[in-house]
Structure 1
Amino acid sequence: MSVTMTERAATHVGKALAQRGKGVGLRLGVRTAGCSGMAYRLEYVDDLADDDSVFESHGVKIVVDPKSLAYLDGTELDFVREGLNEGFKFNNPNVKDECGCGESFHV
């Protein structure tokens, strides 16, 4: 099982962690929400739980809880700029369908 991020995403997260002044990495998870069933959750990690899975890409740690890992296995996190908009893009091979606005998905 693995979760990765592109170099561009790692650079963005690394800068944000440095500005924040603390944190061991970025937590990636899923929660029940939206019209398709699940939504991604991102937050900084200050402390690791005993059952967390930790992956590293380009020097940045990605932390995933055990319940989310089954839905996120193989996911690559990217950071994209499209015109004036920028944000994270989730390349998740487990997704079978997404809602029209792209905020939620189901596997």
Structure 2
Amino acid sequence: MAIKLTPAALERVRRFLAAEPDALGLRFGVERTGCSGWGYVVDIAREAREGDSVTVQDGVRIHVDPDSLPMVDGTTIDFVRRGLNHEFVFDNPNAAAACGCGESFTTDAGKAA
């Protein structure tokens, strides 16, 4: 598994984890949403789940469930400022298309699902 956090994303995740000392790390995956099919889910990993793939980057554990992994493997997660907003941004080599509003994406595998 190859999920990568940019320095800005790594710093932001560390700030979230510092507020929850019992957290295991970051949980990253997808859920069905929007007009293209899949939306990213970023949360605190509070427990290990059966089948999770886990990678560690600079001491931060990143948990990905087995259903999400084929759709997010190879993704780089950044944290950017756009005007007054701050947000995670995803560079996913598996995304074949995205909806116009940027809320969801699809993969070639997702088209068949």
TM-score (norm 1): 0.93
- The answer to whether 1:79 aligns with 2:91 is no
SS at 2:61's partner residue?
Answer: strand
Residue matched to 1:70? 70
Identity within the alignment, %: 46
2:33 alignment partner in structure 1: 33
- Dislocated runs of 4+, deviation >3 Å: none
**Structure 1: runs of 5+ lacking an equivalent:** none
- For structure 2, the 5+ residue unaligned runs are 108-113
> What is the distance in 2 between the residues matched to 1:50 and 1:106?
25
Cα shift readout 1:4-57 (whole Å, capped 9, x = no counterpart)? 111111111111111233201110011111000111111111111231111122
Which residue of 1 is the match for residue 110 of structure 2? none
Aligned to 1:43: 43
1:8 maps to which residue? 8
How many residues are matched? 107
Q: Distance between the aligned counterparts of 1:61 and 1:92, measured in 2?
A: 19
Deviation at 1:58, TM superposition (A): 2.6
- Kept in 2: contact 1:7–1:57 (CA 8 A): no
Q: CA RMSD in A?
A: 1.1
Which stretch has the larger CA shift, 53-62 or 35-44? 53-62
For 1:80 and 1:59, the matched residues in 2 are separated by 21
TM-score using structure 2 length: 0.89
**1: CA distance between counterparts of 2:22 and 2:8?**
20
Distance in 1, Cα, partners of 2:82 & 2:58 = 23
